[in-house]
């Protein structure tokens, strides 16, 4: 029974470790539209720079001039998306305002987005939530011709596009499953802990007479060994005393011999 409880606990912990990142992961899909025969670089970042696994470098577009990328993270709720274009030879293509890229600030993760680079200024359109219902109204994040104004404008419009705080029902279900597993593990641990004293009492009461006799024999054997050790110590002490007496007699005889030698001289 105890081994079975351990297996259940280990299995529950493994399930939590495996599925918790999946439960809280936020996937963001971005489809970029531009002209054919171009390479598109999309970066997902924050104030410190590009996020881990957030760089999609020189992605080739299809015949319609479109390319899609997907970024997934288990802790990032908002990102900055920057996009730049190169021609087939690798040369940087500048936008009408003279900048080498466009950036969209404070984009909420977990949604589908469409970025259109064929218009001036470039726009980002919010689609439907990943795994959720489509959004009826789309909000446009526009870029201005002056680079300094681009950042300011995008920061303001980014909040408007990310204002939706609806919760994915699938994620709620996963979280509920995780909480149930945690409760099961805790209950099993409490039950196991409370059952230990009872098991000990049962084991003591169920000891057979043979086991008690064996314990008595072991005690008697230990006592006998102790007595033998005491006798051996006593004998050693007696031998030590005899040795001391012999040394004393030797010294006495030695002194007497020296006295006789001096008298004869």
pLDDT at 188 over 60: yes
- Mean local confidence (pLDDT), 130-141: 52
Q: What is the pLDDT of residues 202-259, one digit of tens each?
A: 555 555 667 777 888 888 888 888 989 888 888 888 888 888 888 888 888 888 888 8
Most confident of 19-28, 83-92, 134-143, 156-165: 83-92
Cα–Cα distance list, 17 to 71, 154, 178 (Å):
21, 38, 10
Q: What is the pLDDT of residues 62-114, one digit of tens each?
A: 999 999 999 987 767 889 999 999 998 999 999 988 899 999 998 999 899 99
Query: Residues 33, 39, 42, 47: what is their CA dihedral angle, to the nearest 10 degrees?
Result: -120
Tell me the β-bridge partners of 71: 28
Percent of the chain with pLDDT over 90: 29
Beta strands in 134-217 (DSSP E): 140-142
State whether residue 100 is helix, strand or coil: coil
For residues 181 and 22, the model is more confident at 181
Nearest to 28 by CA among 108, 133, 116, 118: 108
* ∠ Cα 122 123 126 (to 5°): 160
- C-beta of residue 21 within 8 angstroms of C-beta of residue 41: no
Q: Which pLDDT band holds residue 159 (cuts at 50, 70, 90)? A: very low
* Angle separating helix axes 2-24 and 169-205, nearest 10 degrees: 160
- C-beta of residue 157 within 8 angstroms of C-beta of residue 140: yes
pLDDT at 170 over 50: yes
Residue whose entry in the numeric block shows the structure tokens 């209950």: 187
- C-beta of residue 178 within 8 angstroms of C-beta of residue 16: yes
Q: What are the residue boundaries of the structural domains of the chain, listed by start?
A: 18-169, 207-265
* C-alpha 211: how far from chain center: 49
């Amino acid at each position: 029974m105890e081994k079975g409880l351990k297996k259940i606990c280990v299995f529950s912990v493994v399930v939590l470790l495996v599925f918790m990142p999946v439960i809280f992961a936020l996937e963001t899909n971005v489809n970029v539209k531009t002209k054919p025969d171009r390479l598109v670089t999309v970066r997902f970042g924050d104030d410190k720079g590009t996020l881990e696994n957030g760089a999609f470098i020189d992605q080739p577009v299809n015949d319609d001039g479109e390319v899609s990328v997907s970024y997934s993270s288990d802790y990032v709720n908002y990102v900055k998306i920057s996009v730049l274009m190169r021609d087939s030879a690798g040369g940087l293509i500048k936008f009408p305002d003279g900048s080498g890229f466009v950036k969209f600030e404070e984009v909420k993760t977990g949604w589908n987005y469409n970025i259109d680079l064929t218009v001036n200024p470039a726009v980002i359109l919010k689609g439907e939530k990943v795994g959720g219902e489509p959004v009826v109204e789309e909000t446009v994040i526009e870029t201005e011709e002056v680079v300094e104004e681009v950042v300011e404008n995008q920061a303001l419009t980014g909040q408007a596009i990310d204002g939706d705080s609806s919760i994915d029902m699938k994620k709620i279900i996963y979280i509920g499953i995780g909480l149930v597993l945690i409760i099961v593990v805790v209950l099993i641990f409490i039950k196991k802990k409370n059952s230990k004293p009872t098991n000990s009492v049962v084991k003591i009461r169920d000891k057979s007479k043979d086991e008690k006799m064996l314990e008595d024999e072991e005690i008697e054997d230990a006592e006998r060994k102790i007595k033998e050790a005491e006798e051996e110590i006593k004998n050693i002490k007696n031998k030590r005393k005899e040795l001391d007496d012999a040394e004393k007699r030797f010294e006495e005889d030695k002194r007497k011999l020296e006295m006789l030698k001096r008298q004869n001289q």
